[in-house]
Amino acid sequence: MPRRTLSTPHPNGDPSQSDLEEKLPLQSNGEPPKEKVELKKQVTLLQGIAIIIGTIIGAGIFISPKGILKNSGSVGMSLVVWIACGVLSLFGALSYAELGTCIKKSGGHYTYVLEAFGPQVAFVQLWAEITAIRPAGLAVISLAFGRYILEPIFMPCGVPDIAIKLATSIGITVAMYVNVMSVSWTTRLQIFLTFSKLLAILIIAVPGLYQLFKGETKNFENAFEVHTADLTRLPLAFYSGMYAYSGWFYLNFVTEEVEKPERTVPIAICVSMGIVMSCYILINVAYYTVMSADDLLASSAVAVTFAEKQLGNFSYAVPIFVALSCFGSMNGCLFAISRTFYVASREGQLPEVLSMLHVRRHTPLPAVTILYPITLLILFLGDIYSLLNFMSFLRWFFIGVAVLGLIYMRKTRPDLDRPFKVPIFIPTVFAFTCFFMVFLSLYSDPVNTGIGFGISLTGIPAYCIFIHFQRRNKCFQKCSDFVNRSLQILLEVVPAEH
């Protein structure tokens, strides 16, 4: 392949590497790329809102809100939990709005931990993300897509597991392809999918609220009366609720691509959280209007059961809407998470090729596709739900650490420009909530939680081997450079221009 050379600083910032000649592919017409190769600021306010809403609202609100009802003990208390979790999530979102406007780098949790506590802590967080949290999370939401996209075909029979996994693989592949081909395709698709899931919520909420206004209130009588539930399980209800709202942080993963981030990020976060909270409350009220608490607890897919009671034959369309909702979460997660790997590579903590962009499409192709083989491997060979159970609490731990970093930087970096600043009690309350959920995991499931901590702590020797040792071993470094250059030519990617 014809090549040209370009002098580019090494992402590790090592002065001895600053004059390396990097061999870059030409375009197919033999000419060097005329347009500056970079991630452009093309995420608008509407697209930012779509990214947040589209990743928060997945399958959970349609399938199984019964976890909150079961652990809260009553209809009234479950609604209180939904509202309280929305407010707490808003506190976290506002904290991230401050972080996103004063640290205008992409990468989300990783970037904020790096800025506050240094590269060692940030690498441990990154290691947990890339080895288990993100592949397992993506596999779970993709499995929900595979199941519900096929359900109308197999009704009333169950869907075979192998068919679900094949459909899931196709769904992951399509989402990866869209993210690799174009940033604008990805964000426009996200807008469409977000409107689809909001339409699905309206289709469910409006008939339920209509019944409520007609006087169907029997399921709300004695709404706070608790018969059998143990109130000590209430924290578990909050854990489920916080998980249902998780996703408000994804716009911070793409801050460098957001137009006017100091304005767009706070507005998008506040608008999105207001919409999501309203949707969650309305759809739960609709459920309880048509279904008793016992009906809801007995249902394996609440939205489908609701539709069968209220919408007749249209209930066959509900699984399609659930599948589109899941695909929206897949698409948004891939778009956002890939930027973490892109930034980590730029910081010298992942292979150099992951910080490169496709020479024509200007997408972070290597960073987008890195999760693809890991996710498929877990999908077909791994115990996804066990992996997710003992790793999910680590996400809250590191989110808590990132918000703690906001408080810490208020003291250590008081002169940092903060276009958007929240009262200190907001990040304090949210960080306490995150660490309380971690403590709750340790108390309720010490074995799986301990395994999760063990996996994350393997990031310490990994840091010593892949970061500390590599920088000092010339043979290791030459091998790494050879692999990076080979992949660079194969994938037609070049370093981003700044």
**The pLDDT value given to residue 364:** 92
3-class state of residue 22 by DSSP: strand
Pairing of strands 356-358, 21-25: unpaired
327: closest CA among 208, 186, 120? 186
**The pLDDT value given to residue 390:** 62
- Could you give phi then psi for residue 463, rounded to 5 degrees? -65, -45
324: closest CA among 421, 152, 195, 203? 195
**The pLDDT value given to residue 254:** 92
Find the radius of gyration of the CA atoms of the chain: 23
Give the per-residue SS3 of 303-361. HHHHHHHHCHHHHHHHHHHHHHHHHHHHHHHHHHHHHHHHHHHHCCCCCHHHHEEECCC
CB 110 within 8 A of CB 122: yes
**The pLDDT value given to residue 20:** 36
**The pLDDT value given to residue 24:** 46
Q: What is the pTM of this model?
A: 0.85
**Element counts in the chain: helices (H) and strands (E):** 22, 4
**The pLDDT value given to residue 11:** 43
Give the position of tokens 């074995």: 447
**The pLDDT value given to residue 382:** 66
Domains defined for the chain, CATH in brackets: 40-470 (1.20.1740.10)
Give the per-residue SS3 of 37-70. CCCCCCECHHHHHHHHHHHHCCCHHHHCCHHHHH
Give the per-residue SS3 of 249-268. CHHHHHHHHECCHHHHHHHH
Residues of the chain with pLDDT under 50: 1-29, 33
Token pair for 362 = 């200007």
**The pLDDT value given to residue 22:** 43
CB 361 within 8 A of CB 184: no
